[in-house]
Chains A and B, each alone.
Chain A
């Protein structure tokens, strides 16, 4: 998930300004906290009916808040912004780029203030995107999606992650409130040298993979590098194990239409995680080892595998070069369809009080079209929909493997959203409970019950809200 993903790379030093901001928030909130939602675009699916032409918009400044401050993504956005300004000389893009944490802590005030930015990057899930929609702060983009063919450009699974029901209650269905540029998934990174020395091939099936773990352990190698001091990395690891036992159910559950977590898949995945700890497939002190530290150790040759997101590829490649390989977690049967946890980058959304929604929509289209995808590929970023440049990347390189894996997952509908999207408090519940499983303090049964308690309570609340406020016809 985005929160976890970017937490991975957030500069920890930003803690204090964030804490100070608490005071500022309280101060700036004034006497009446919150908006009354009057900024909501009513039934609005946008006024446009034909492709808007930003050239006719007159002299326009588009204020954009994004969090793409890292090497590859920053370069790609800078280039696309320059090109957009060149195509439409009357439009100036005022970019405000902040780290994920800084964006998250300041965005709420900015969008609810008197002078909101036109385009923002909103984090999917309940705490951000759903909360913004509920407060009427984002413009629905369904109309633009029709005009610009976003509906066909993107697979439905990905578009759904940027949907919120019109009443602001449900995530994953309803209106479209954003569009994402980049793709991401939890992949199985491997150290080619270590596998070769152990006489192993990159696994073709899940069984081959787990058999290999025992073999690596016997040879005195650490099979899977893993650090969970930051609490969220286990969400990714557990997600992959969980998907092996029931990907379709897991997706339904996250999107609020499944049976929940008190089931065999949850218990089985937790039992596997605990078992891996017991057998020493994961480092013994995993709960005390930082996420970045674990990645560094893997890069320096400690650990044959690393299960983490494609966002780590650029950094790992820098120190490992040709030794690095990546693939989606292997399927149950050779040649079968892989499944894994994954999704897309933060959604690019238009605020409901933007004075230039049509220019903003054109900008969103520009950021996500085939040309943009090629720019992303050239900057080493995984586009949500790879274009021509992607097919020119050498298939043997780690980048090529990453792109191929993404294409296979997209084609097989093999992406399951991050589990912590499930409820507003699920990130807390899941990450805390997983630390318990890893230290073998929490049994798989207790673990499943803990998750279900959180999930069930939120589902109940949702149902009550649905009954209290029946959604307008045709919006869900």
Chain B
């Protein structure tokens, strides 16, 4: 019978499941994606298995370039720096963004749009501009040190970007400044989507602001937190411009990060294979971290 044939056809494939024809629709995008992303990435993977100076014939390196990532301290350090910077580039912006969103969503603040714009502004600026501006703020007689001296804390003044202990946190603070606005705007949008009834119910049960935040706002923001963390982690790990402009990895190698190391090795020291290995390792690291974040924070979708 006709009807059974139809049901059988449906049973074969769950409703909404893609059909082969779907691939044709995405083919143009796929070709572009393959040509400009997958193919170069494959090239990088292949280059990372070679010793190549960029000019003469490459020689096979096997896993040498990857082994060096673990055995060579000058390659290990950038990854450690990057992970430490994630505190500033991802954890702090999300935490501060949550705090700001919680405050702003509770209190009706006059000129809210203005504050939102100001806090979001760093996202819009080119990182080059951000770097140049902060370089002068953090200079030995820059704005920050002047301010410290003006309030009698001159003892704390130091050449922030040239100080072995403080250079990494100083660059980190710039990242926090950049990332916070994005997180806040994401969370504010998320808060507005949480049903008002939940807040009313919580209040009727006698929840204070903190309780309300923990039981209603935070769980309601899970998808936004996952997005914010993913974006900030990726931005933090591929951070190149800020380092290049503010410290060039210095003092010593105290602020070198993988993304800077890729550029440095490929263009300045003719170690293309090693640069490719750093790049591939960085890609893997970003992949692992973002998958972990979406699993942990967003939770598995049923």
Interface residues of chain A, those whose CB is within 8 Å of chain B, are: 3, 12-13, 15-16, 18-19, 21-23, 25-27, 29, 32-37, 104-105, 108, 112, 127, 131-132, 134-135, 137, 228-231, 283-290, 293, 424-425, 427-428, 431-433, 435-436, 439, 441
Task: List which B22-73 residues lie within 8 A (CB) of chain A.
Answer: 36, 39-40, 43-44, 47, 50, 52-58
A137 / chain B contacts, CB cutoff of 8 Å: 55
Q: Which of B13-21, B93-101, B181-189, B243-251 forms part of the interface with chain A?
A: B243-251
Q: Verify A23–B128 contact, CB threshold 8 A.
A: no
CB–CB A29/B43 < 8 A: yes
Establish whether residues A15 and B140, one from each chain, have CB atoms under 8 Å apart when the complex forms: no
A297 to chain B, nearest CB (A): 9
B191 contacts chain A at the CB level, 8 A cutoff: no
* Contacting residues, chain B, for A19 (C-beta < 8 A): 240-241, 259, 263
User: Which of A26, A27, A293 has most B Cβ within 10 Å?
Assistant: A26
Chain B residues lying within 8 Å of A105, measured Cβ to Cβ, are 267
Q: How far is the CB of B82 from chain A (nearest CB, A)?
A: 16
B276 within 8 A of A: yes
Cα–Cα, bound, A15→B267 (Å): 12
Q: Which of B52, B266, B267 has the most CB of A within 10 A?
A: B267
Give the CA-CA distance A286 to B139 in the complex, in Å.
10
Q: How many A-B residue pairs have CB under 8 A?
A: 152
**What are 27 inter-chain pairs, A to B, with CB distance below 8 A?**
A12-B244, A12-B245, A15-B128, A15-B240, A19-B241, A21-B267, A22-B263, A23-B40, A26-B40, A26-B43, A29-B47, A33-B50, A34-B56, A34-B58, A228-B162, A230-B248, A284-B140, A285-B140, A285-B159, A287-B251, A288-B139, A288-B158, A288-B162, A293-B139, A432-B252, A432-B253, A433-B252
- B60 CB to nearest chain A CB (Å): 12
B228 within 8 A of A: no
Say yes or no: is B294 at the interface (Cβ < 8 Å to chain A): no
Interface size of B by CB at 8 A reads: 52
* Residue B164, interface by CB 8 Å: yes
Q: Which residues of A have CB within 8 Å of B272?
A: 25, 33
For the complex formed, measure the closest distance between the CB of A267 and the CB atoms of chain B, giving whole angstroms: 19
Bitwise interface map of B from 127 to 156 toward A, beta carbon under 8 Å scored 1, else 0? 010011001001111000000000000000
Which residues does B use to contact A, with CB under 8 Å?
36, 39-40, 43-44, 47, 50, 52-58, 128, 131-132, 135, 138-141, 158-164, 240-241, 244-245, 247-253, 259, 262-263, 266-270, 272, 275-276, 279
Given A15-B128, A18-B263, A428-B269, check contact A288 B163 (CB 8 Å): yes
Known: A12-B132, A12-B244, A33-B50. 10 other contacts (CB 8 A): A3-B268, A18-B267, A33-B47, A108-B55, A229-B135, A285-B140, A287-B161, A287-B162, A289-B140, A425-B269
Instruction: Give the chain A neighbours of B159 by CB distance below 8 A.
Output: 229, 284-289
Contact of A229 among B55, B56, B162, B276 (CB under 8 A): B162
Contacts of A112 in B (CB 8 A): 55
- CB-based contact A435/B162 at 8 Å: yes
Those 4 A-B pairs whose CB atoms lie nearest each other, nearest first: A288-B159, A287-B162, A285-B140, A285-B159
Q: Are B161 and A288 in touch, CB under 8 angstroms?
A: yes
- Report whether A435 and B252 are in contact in the complex, using a CB–CB cutoff of 8 Å: yes
- Are the CB atoms of B164 and A289 closer together than 8 Å? no
Contact A289 B162 (CB under 8 A): yes
Asked if B248 contacts A108 (CB within 8 A), the reply is no
Give the residue of A135, A425, A432, A441 whose beta carbon is less than 8 angstroms from that of B250: A432
Chain B residues, Cβ within 8 Å of A287: 159, 161-163, 250-251
A229 with B43: in contact, given A15-B241, A33-B58, A289-B140 (CB under 8 Å)?
A: no
